[in-house]
Amino acid sequence: MTISTSRRRLLQMFAISAVYGTKAAASETFPARPIKLVVPLPAGGTADAVARRLADGMAKYLKQSVVVENRSGGGSAIGAAAVARADADGYTVLVGSGTTQSVLPAVMKSLPYDPQRDLAPILLIASSAYVFVTRANFPAKTFKEFLSYARDHRGAVSFGSFGTGSASHLGLLLLQLKTQTEFLHVPYRGGAPVLQALLAGEIDSALLTGDQAEYINSGKVQGLAILGPRRLGPLPDVPTAEEVGVPGWSVPVWNGLLVPTGTPKDRRDKLLLAARDSLAQPEMVKFLQTIGYESVEENNPQALQQYLAEERKKIDAIVADSGLPRQ
């Protein structure tokens, strides 16, 4: 039995309509499978802890699994590049930071991704500030005393960073520029070994984050200044950089969500709503406050884009003014 040409065409039209109808339905039901949040750092750190709590809240809102994948290496470049190369379908999201978006482009000669071209912002999860600390038995007990000691012992006071060209290293370079001092830079491979060296008395000073407030509050290290405009909740007695006479001394400490450029707007919008809902949950708000992080009221892609534009100018200026060679 043969099918007429007109009927064959009609059946083909129905088939095409069914295909497009299925695609439209798939788009409307996003997400239809688990979403992956890529943290470009090892498990166990601050970014990882924030991402996992955020993922739990987003999963409830989206009624779909949201999993965290740690892809460390290259100072965060490997994980960021993996997201930049992923399909622009909303299923792969970067938990980015000042390092992935501003610091690495300023200190590296070449990167396997372009932060501005390859990644589109969703929102700023939360931001914080570094805390300038010294070993517990350092002779200076205030920042003013520390600065005087550093000037009297130029080049002899050691500072442990998370690595050459890291955000913490830029914090040291900015301090030197603003106070006309010189320190002995001791680079480590990340924040954990810096903390251990500080506790062991192997280095004189370093930068810690708010989630390490317990070491300051317990007296295991001395907190002398907050590198930001406001004091941190977990450390109410530690003065800000402006209060100690070094206004503008700050380097980025934040996490945000970004997706591959080209991700459909409706999917970006849904991720934005899910992240906002997760950040608004009381348990999430309390957790962020506990580690010295705070979210912002105006939280959208445009706000994060503006935030990044200002941050990049500042980081580029630190690198240029300090003469730090690009790696």
Domain assignment present for 6: no
> Is pLDDT above 60 for 21?
no
Domain assignment present for 234: no
Residue 125, pLDDT score = 96
Same domain as 95, residue 161: no
Domain range enclosing 188: 131-226
Count of domains forming the chain: 2
287-298: average pLDDT:
89
Same domain as 115, residue 40: yes
Omega before 105 within 30 of 0, i.e. cis:
no
Percent of the chain with pLDDT over 90: 85
Domain assignment present for 246: no
Domain assignment present for 294: yes
Domain assignment present for 190: yes
Residue 28, pLDDT score = 57
247-252: average pLDDT:
95
pTM: 0.88
Under 8 Å between Cβ of 243 and 235: no
Same domain as 259, residue 123: yes
DSSP code at position 221:
E
Query: Which one of 226, 245, 280 terminates a domain?
Result: 226
Arithmetic mean of pLDDT over the chain = 91
List Cβ neighbours of 85 (8 Å cut-off, separation of 6 or more). Answer: 113, 118, 260
DSSP code at position 239:
P
Give the residue among 152, 157, 220 at the shortest CA–CA distance from 185: 157
Alpha helices in 29-141 (DSSP H): 46-62, 77-85, 98, 104-107, 115-118
The pLDDT tens digits of the residues spanning 42-91 come to 898 899 999 999 999 999 999 999 999 999 999 999 999 999 999 999 99
Instruction: Determine whether 233 is exposed, middle or buried from the number of CB atoms within 10 Å of its CB (0-12, 13-18, 19+).
Output: middle
Same domain as 123, residue 52: yes
> Is pLDDT above 70 for 321?
yes
> Is pLDDT above 50 for 2?
no
Domain assignment present for 28: no
The pLDDT tens digits of the residues spanning 185-208 come to 999 988 889 999 999 999 999 999
Domain assignment present for 29: no
Same domain as 271, residue 123: yes
Same domain as 204, residue 183: yes
Q: Which of 24-28, 192-196, 238-242: highest mean pLDDT? A: 238-242
Distance CA 128, CA 131 (A): 10
Same domain as 136, residue 213: yes
DSSP code at position 242:
T
The pLDDT tens digits of the residues spanning 91-150 come to 999 999 999 999 999 999 999 999 999 999 999 999 999 999 999 999 999 999 999 999
Domain assignment present for 235: no
Between the alpha carbon of residue 165 and those of residues 46, 129, 156, 176, 323, the distances in Å are 20, 18, 21, 15, 12
Distance CA 163, CA 105 (A): 15
Q: What is the DSSP string of 108-134?
A: -S--SS-HHHHEEEEEEEEE---EEEE
Same domain as 50, residue 192: no
- Tell me the CATH number at 313: 3.40.190.150
- Tell me the CATH number at 179: 3.40.190.10
